[in-house]
């Protein structure tokens, strides 16, 4: 007879700015409502933990064990000690086996702290090591181990979490060839989601680099056609190899993005990370030339279609769009990647 599973609280991390996109993916894929925080979402889920690996916008996954108010002084750490004695290591290892196979027996401890406290990082680390050794008999180390206990202290509050991903979900196994500056796969998956791809749509990435964006589109569900291309034959070879590794049905071509080899209005969705500077000279784009690049992508986008572009934060895109975009509707989403501020522009071409 089936028994009801008790919901477990998970935390999935993400790039800054993508929290709402990840929360929407959690709801769509897992049917769970997510609480959004800085660079993460938390949600309760009582289904098969293996389904967590299907999250494309997520980075690392954690089991949330406890949230407790601990105060700011050394004596008040006894509250943390009492909670550490109750740490559900068996539940943690069960999840680990489902997702990764048999875990290493050692536990590592990492501490993050924000606020004014009379205790130090070392105090918390020593406390965790002593309590876990006494309660579980497990060796505890500060060196990296697959079973990482994260102790997050924010002002008066502490959160205990167990890592479930030795390698972030965003490290896709299909990435055998890496193009310099290639879009992060989780960021690419978020852009694909923002484009709201259709099952019968026709998709284009006019400057595909190593192919991450079109591959993420292919892995998001079946389209009628995915086209992607590059002017650089070496990058195009990398993209083709990655798509083969992912078994992604992408039609690749070599072309100049200033003169795409397609008739007007033949794509329903365009998602891309264009060169952030002129690829010939390496100098910043002139607004008129960048406008030509943008206009060519808009030319092949159908009325009622949607285009998503990733740009370093600057007035370049908005200025160029004002010159060539006509009556298109634009939404912006600010995000952070590689320590830089980026903007995801979602453009709708009205009917």
Q: What is the mean pLDDT of residues 229-250?
A: 95
Instruction: Please calculate the CA angle 72-11-77 and round it to the nearest 5 degrees.
Output: 20
State percent of the chain over pLDDT 90.
Answer: 77
At residue 195, what are phi and psi to the nearest 5 degrees? Answer: -75, -10
The pLDDT-based confidence of 180 (bands split at 50, 70, 90) is confident
- Residue 71, pLDDT > 50, answer yes
Residue 11's closest CA among 232, 139, 162? 162
Q: Where are the domains of the chain?
A: 8-163, 185-348
What pLDDT is stored for residue 91 in this prediction? Answer: 93
Which pTM was predicted? 0.93
Q: What is the mean pLDDT of residues 296-310?
A: 96
E strands along 121-176, which residues? 140-141, 147-154, 157-163
Q: Class of 8-163 per CATH?
A: alpha beta
What pLDDT is stored for residue 4 in this prediction? Answer: 57
Q: What is the mean pLDDT of residues 99-115?
A: 87
Task: Rounding to the nearest 10 degrees, give the CA dihedral for residues 141, 146, 149, 154.
Answer: 110
Name 111's bridge partners: 151
- Residue 216, pLDDT > 90, answer yes
Q: How far is the C-alpha of 44 from the C-alpha of 31, rounded, in Å? A: 10
What pLDDT is stored for residue 278 in this prediction? Answer: 81
| The two domains 8-163 and 185-348 share their CATH topology (first three levels equal) | no
- Residue 2, pLDDT > 50, answer no
In whole numbers, what is the pLDDT of the chain averaged over residues?
92
pLDDT tens digits for 17-39?
A: 999 999 999 999 999 999 999 99
Burial string for 146-155 (b: 16+ CB within 10 Å, else e) reads bbbbbbbbee
- Tell me how long the chain is: 351
Q: How far from chain centre, in Å, is Cα 324?
A: 31
The pLDDT-based confidence of 325 (bands split at 50, 70, 90) is confident
Q: What is the mean pLDDT of residues 178-205?
A: 92
Name 116's bridge partners: none
What pLDDT is stored for residue 349 in this prediction? Answer: 93
Are 43 and 52 in contact, with CB atoms under 8 Å apart? Answer: no
Q: What is the mean pLDDT of residues 231-256?
A: 95
Name the CATH architecture for the domain at 185-348.
3-Layer(aba) Sandwich (3.40)
Q: How far is the C-alpha of 210 from the C-alpha of 36, rounded, in Å? A: 31
What pLDDT is stored for residue 5 in this prediction? Answer: 63
What pLDDT is stored for residue 3 in this prediction? Answer: 47
The pLDDT-based confidence of 40 (bands split at 50, 70, 90) is very high
What pLDDT is stored for residue 1 in this prediction? Answer: 39
Pick 322 or 342 by higher pLDDT: 342
Residues 6+ apart with CB under 8 A from 257: 206, 207, 229, 231, 274, 293, 296, 297
């Amino acid at each position: 007879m089936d028994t009801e599973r008790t919901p477990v609280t998970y935390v999935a991390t993400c790039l800054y700015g993508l929290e709402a996109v990840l929360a929407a993916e959690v709801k769509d894929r897992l049917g769970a409502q997510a609480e959004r925080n800085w660079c993460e979402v938390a949600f309760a889920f009582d289904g098969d933990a293996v389904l967590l690996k299907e999250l494309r916008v997520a980075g690392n996954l954690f089991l949330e064990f406890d949230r407790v108010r601990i105060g700011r002084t050394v004596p008040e750490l006894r509250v943390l000690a009492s909670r550490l004695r109750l740490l559900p290591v068996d539940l943690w290892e069960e999840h680990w086996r489902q997702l990764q196979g048999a875990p290493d027996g050692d536990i590592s401890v990492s501490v993050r702290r924000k606020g004014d406290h009379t205790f130090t990082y070392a105090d918390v680390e020593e406390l965790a090591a002593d309590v876990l050794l006494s309660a579980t008999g497990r060796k505890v180390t500060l060196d990296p181990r697959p079973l990482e206990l994260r102790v997050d202290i924010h002002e008066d509050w502490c959160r205990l979490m167990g890592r479930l991903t030795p390698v972030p979900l965003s490290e896709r196994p299909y990435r055998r060839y890496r193009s310099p500056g290639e879009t992060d796969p989780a960021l690419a998956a978020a852009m694909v989601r923002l484009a709201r791809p259709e099952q019968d749509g026709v998709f284009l990435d006019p400057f595909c680099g190593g192919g991450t964006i079109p591959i993420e589109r292919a892995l998001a569900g079946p389209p009628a056609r995915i086209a992607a291309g590059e002017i650089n034959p070496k990058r195009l070879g990398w993209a083709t190899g990655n798509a083969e590794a992912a078994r992604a049905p992408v039609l690749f071509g070599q072309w100049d993005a200033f003169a795409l080899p397609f008739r007007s209005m033949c794509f329903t969705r365009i998602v891309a990370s264009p060169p952030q500077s002129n690829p010939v000279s390496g100098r910043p784009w002139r607004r008129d030339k960048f406008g030509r690049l943008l206009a060519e992508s808009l030319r092949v986008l159908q009325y009622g279609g949607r285009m998503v572009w990733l740009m370093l934060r600057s007035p370049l895109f908005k200025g160029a769009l004002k010159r060539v975009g006509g009556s298109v509707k634009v939404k912006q989403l600010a995000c952070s990647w590689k320590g830089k501020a980026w903007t995801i522009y979602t453009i709708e071409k009205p009917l």
